Amino acid sequence: MSAIAATLAFLKRRNWAIVAAVPLLAAAVWMPDVMFQRNVYSYIVTFDITQSMDVEDVGTGSTPVSRLDFARAAMREGLERLPCGSKIGWSIFTGQSTLLLVPPIEVCANFDALLASLDSIGGDMRWTNWSRVAEGGVYAAVRTATSIGHDASILFFTDGQEAPPVLPGDQRVTDIPRGQVKGWLIGVGGDQPAPIPRTDRDGKRIGYWRADDVIQVPPQSRAGAGVESHEELSELRERYLSSIAQQVAFDYRRLRAPQDLVAAMMDERYAHRDRVPTSLNWAPAGLALALLVWRFLPTPARIRSRRLQPAVHQTRLRP
């Protein structure tokens, strides 16, 4: 009988909550993931690494940063917001082709590796200084996405500047099948023409491009436009990128802040349903925490007894 009484007294003092919390904490540690259907995304992210992407005219702070750095910073935030089960791959563009650096891999299991490889993408990877965004970059990105499968969409960061320049009215994306691959063209750059940094083969700056260093639009091709050719300067070619996106059935968005990229990446039109391992460890851990907090909270009876206890006054004895 004494053992039963001791057990009842133990339970009466709320100590049962401690006993119940132990298996809950064990479940939080060893509980396996549960498979759930959810929206996930898959992208091949292509960065334009031509020299115009080194122009420092974008950013959300007081000090402008280069277009490429701004695109990478936005992509870091995008990685953090993608749900587990989504896949991201890295690609770079210059000249008339893209180079796949990392095929699409799951973001949560490979988060650190994706961040490390993202930080290594830069202008020192360039293999040429000329570029064709439409017929080269977009076409090559579509070809890469279709070749690897994975239902991968395209996310292409560029300012739209090409060297040598594309002549007005030149249609260069007619060979790309519309709707074969979904994708975003993300425009990066300011509105005002700015000097383009010139770099050597190692990616070190050696000055800026001058007007006589680059091919300009011929006067006869810009007759009636009332503007001078300034291919040594660079600004976001937004109208040109919008027209490319329309021709290939892509979407276009300008990158003003990382939130613009996150909204584009999380667009439900680019989602697909998949069974994804999902951790529910937080549920038993939260319940165990609630039990322990409840166990050590003072009871109303204990609070009343403390209030009714007479104050003990210590009398100081005088010698």
Instruction: Name which residue leads in pLDDT, 237 or 28.
Output: 237
**Which residues is 48 bridged to in the sheet?**
93
H or E element at residue 35: strand 34-40
Question: Is residue 5, in this structure, part of any structural domain at all?
Answer: no
Question: Is residue 131, in this structure, part of any structural domain at all?
Answer: yes
Domain range for 105 is 38-276
Question: Is residue 186, in this structure, part of any structural domain at all?
Answer: yes
Question: Is residue 313, in this structure, part of any structural domain at all?
Answer: no
**Which residues is 94 bridged to in the sheet?**
97
Helix, strand or coil, per DSSP, at residue 112: helix
Strand residue runs (E) in 51-209 = 56-58, 65-66, 87-94, 97-106, 153-158, 183-187, 194-195, 197-199, 205-208
Question: Is residue 262, in this structure, part of any structural domain at all?
Answer: yes
User: Which among 153-157, 268-272, 282-286, 299-303 has the top mean pLDDT?
Assistant: 153-157
DSSP secondary-structure letter at 185? E
Helix, strand or coil, per DSSP, at residue 86: coil
Q: What is the pTM of this model?
A: 0.78
pLDDT(155) > 80: yes
Question: Is residue 53, in this structure, part of any structural domain at all?
Answer: yes
Which pLDDT belongs to residue 278?
64
**CB contact at 8 A, 185 and 245:** yes
- Cis check for the bond before 168: say yes or no (omega within 30 of 0): no
Long-range contacts of 57-65 (CB under 8 A, 24+ apart): 57/189, 57/190, 57/192, 57/194, 57/235, 58/188, 58/189, 58/190, 58/255, 60/257, 60/258, 64/190
Q: Of 136-150, 219-233, 298-312, which range is least confident?
A: 298-312
Q: Give mean pLDDT, residues 294-300.
A: 70
Q: Of 9-23, 35-49, 77-91, 159-173, which range is least confident?
A: 9-23
**CB contact at 8 A, 118 and 155:** no
User: Would you place residue 143 in the very low, low, confident or very high pLDDT band (cuts 50, 70, 90)?
Assistant: confident
Question: Is residue 285, in this structure, part of any structural domain at all?
Answer: no
The CATH number assigned to the domain holding 50 equals 3.40.50.410
pLDDT(1) > 70: no
pLDDT(30) > 90: no
pLDDT(164) > 90: no
Q: Give mean pLDDT, residues 256-284.
A: 85
Helix, strand or coil, per DSSP, at residue 224: coil
pLDDT(176) > 80: no
Which pLDDT belongs to residue 248?
87
Which pLDDT belongs to residue 11?
52
Q: Which value, to the nearest 10 degrees, does the dihedral of the CA atoms of residues 191, 66, 50, 179 take? A: -60
Q: Which value, to the nearest 10 degrees, does the dihedral of the CA atoms of residues 229, 232, 234, 240 take? A: 50
d(CA 203, CA 124): 4
Task: Give how many domains the chain has, as a whole number.
Answer: 1
- Residue range 67-86, pLDDT digits in tens: 999 999 999 999 999 998 99
The amino acid present at 103, given as its one-letter code, is P
Question: Is residue 286, in this structure, part of any structural domain at all?
Answer: no
pLDDT(219) > 90: no
Q: For residue 116, what are its two tokens? A: 């490390």
